[in-house]
Amino acid sequence: MDNKKCCNDNHEHEHEEIGIVTLVDEEGKEHDFAFVDSIELEGEQYAILSPIAEDDEESDEAIILKIGKDENGDDILYDIEDDEEWEKVADAWQELIESEE
């Protein structure tokens, strides 16, 4: 799944309920994602999320969003705009998965 197409910028999420993250797309429709993991790379934090289907099953696909802070200091998730940055994070995540197998 291409995270740049699936989600709107500046997604707010509740850090206390880290298991499920609800993102709102461009049309205002809510989508639930399972929080799979977070990864730190070059001093930045990224969230790995897996879409949850209507039958509450997690997908084999995942999206990567950058974790940042809004003007109030609250955590937010937003798209990674730079293709090179996205590739670095995706590669690091893939290496982590392979090392755990």
What whole-number distance in Å separates Cα of residue 81 and Cα of residue 101?
30
- pTM attached to this predicted model: 0.71
The boundaries of the domain holding residue 84 are 3-100
Give the total number of structural domains in the chain: 1
| pLDDT 10s digits, 10-55 | 344 443 445 888 888 889 999 899 999 999 999 999 999 998 876 6
Closest CA to 69 of 6, 3, 18, 12: 12
